[in-house]
Amino acid sequence: MKMFSSVRSPYAPQKSLVGKTVCVTGAGGFIASHLLERLVREGANVRGLLHYNSRNDWGRAERIPADIRKSIRFTMGDILDPSQLRKALTGCDYVFHLAALISIPYSYDAPEMYVSINVQGTLNILETCRKIGIQRLVHTSTSEVYGTARYVPIDEKHPLQAQSPYSATKIGADKLVESYYNSFALPVVTVRPFNTYGPRQSARAIVPSIIAQALTRKMVAIGSTTPMRDLNYVEDTVDGFIRAAVTSKADGQVFNFGTGKDISIGDLAKKILALIGNDVTLTTDKQRIRPTKSEVMRLQCDSRKAAKILGWKPRHNLDEGLLNTIAWMRENIQHFKPTVYSK
């Protein structure tokens, strides 16, 4: 197994992953691409399950450095097909479940698809892991399951509130995972990243949407400026995933990953424009504004549980993470469509 060094990495290596076989579902996604890269660097035997398409398009995994990417065994498939899942996951020690439909605005248009993929797909993962036997399943949740904060910072005991079809399906998936731990003693951990951002993210998300527009236009369109978000850099989120997988005391538990600091979308946009340095005007685009009761107005993370049990803490502040993201997007702006609103 070829070992890859992490140059000036702020993250402690996890020796327990060396030589282990791991699979990441949703391998074409933004966070998944960084997780795959980190797992290879940790010395694991890495598999990636990609959603089948006739173009043989690997999504964000295409952006993984070539020397790392060639060490990953990619399989095209679908989490809605149990037979394919059994082939993909058999022999795995760890499974990281990231496959999901994630766009909130699109969930207004296609709620049935969200139920199918996020709920039934997660059930298929759980059943497969139960039948084949694994060391641990790390399930990806989201801070959106909390809805608008009833108190801040939001800890793992905060009530779950379904303010969109997307969040409802993620709550359903989380509860299925909980039930498999309680009913079948399946070794599972649920991680709830707050708003993750960084290189390779699509313009569906707020940070790359603002950056892509600011780098190419004189006007940046956003939705509501008042919602507050806790933004976590992608490499820090991935470190949380890794720690959740290898920490023995994590079984059956839920962990939040966030910085504990929130910022309004309006102030975030102003910060990004200042860092880029372009003379750009901010404007409100009505189609980007969510229904009033569906908009989550404030998310601020309490990650003390992750710090205590997993030894996790964020290593990047917001300015550092944004500058890294801006630099990457400058080099890859040809892959974005700044004039098109991406749901």
Distance between CA 179 and CA 174 in Å, rounded? 9
Q: What is the pLDDT of residue 191?
A: 98
Q: pLDDT category, 6, cuts 50, 70, 90? A: very low
Q: What is the pLDDT of residues 115-171, one digit of tens each?
A: 999 999 999 999 999 999 999 999 999 999 999 999 999 999 999 999 999 999 999
pLDDT at 237 over 90: yes
CA angle at 203 for the pair 200 and 208, rounded to the nearest 5°: 70
pLDDT > 70? residue 3:
no
* Contact predicate 206/342, CB 8 Å: no
HSE-CB at 111 with a 13 A cutoff on CA atoms is 8
Strand, coil or helix: 51:
strand
Q: Mean pLDDT across the chain, nearest whole number?
A: 95
Please report how many Cα atoms fall inside a 13 Å half-sphere around the Cα of residue 143, on the Cβ side: 31
Q: Contact, 290 vs 104, CB < 8 A?
A: yes
**Chain segment 29-48, per-residue pLDDT in tens:** 999 999 999 999 999 999 99
Alpha helices in the chain (DSSP H): 30-41, 66-69, 82-89, 104-109, 111-114, 121-132, 165-184, 206-216, 234-246, 265-276, 304-310, 318-332
Alpha carbon distance 169, 106 (integer Å) = 13
pLDDT digits (tens, 9 = 90+) for 50-63: 999 999 999 999 99
Cα distance between residue 158 and residue 13, in whole Å: 32
pLDDT at 29: 97
Q: Would the CA dihedral through 302, 303, 309, 313 be positive or negative?
A: negative
pLDDT tens by residue, 238-290 = 999 999 999 999 999 999 999 999 999 999 999 999 999 988 889 888 888 88
Confidence (pLDDT) at 255: 98
User: Sign of torsion, CA 58 118 146 238?
Assistant: negative
- Percent of the chain topping pLDDT 70: 98
Superfamily of domain 17-196+233-257: NAD(P)-binding Rossmann-like Domain (3.40.50.720)
Q: pTM for the full model? A: 0.95
- Contacts (Cβ under 8 Å, ≥6 apart) of 137: 94, 95, 97, 125, 126, 129, 177, 186, 187, 188, 189
Beta-carbon contacts of residue 13 (< 8 Å; ≥ 6 apart): 6, 42
Beta carbons of 82 and 99 less than 8 angstroms apart: no
User: Is 23 within 8 Å of 96 (Cβ atoms)?
Assistant: yes
Number of residues that make up the chain: 343
Separation between Cα atoms, residue 308 and residue 57, nearest integer Å: 40
pLDDT class of 5 with cuts at 50, 70, 90: very low
Q: Give burial (CB, 10 Å; 0-12/13-18/19+) of 67.
A: exposed
pLDDT digits (tens, 9 = 90+) for 76-87: 999 999 999 999
Element (H, E) at 94: strand 94-97
List Cβ neighbours of 282 (8 Å cut-off, separation of 6 or more): 219, 220, 222, 266, 269, 270, 273
* Residues identified as active-site: 166
Token pair 């058999």 is found at: 90
User: What DSSP designation does 44 have?
Assistant: -
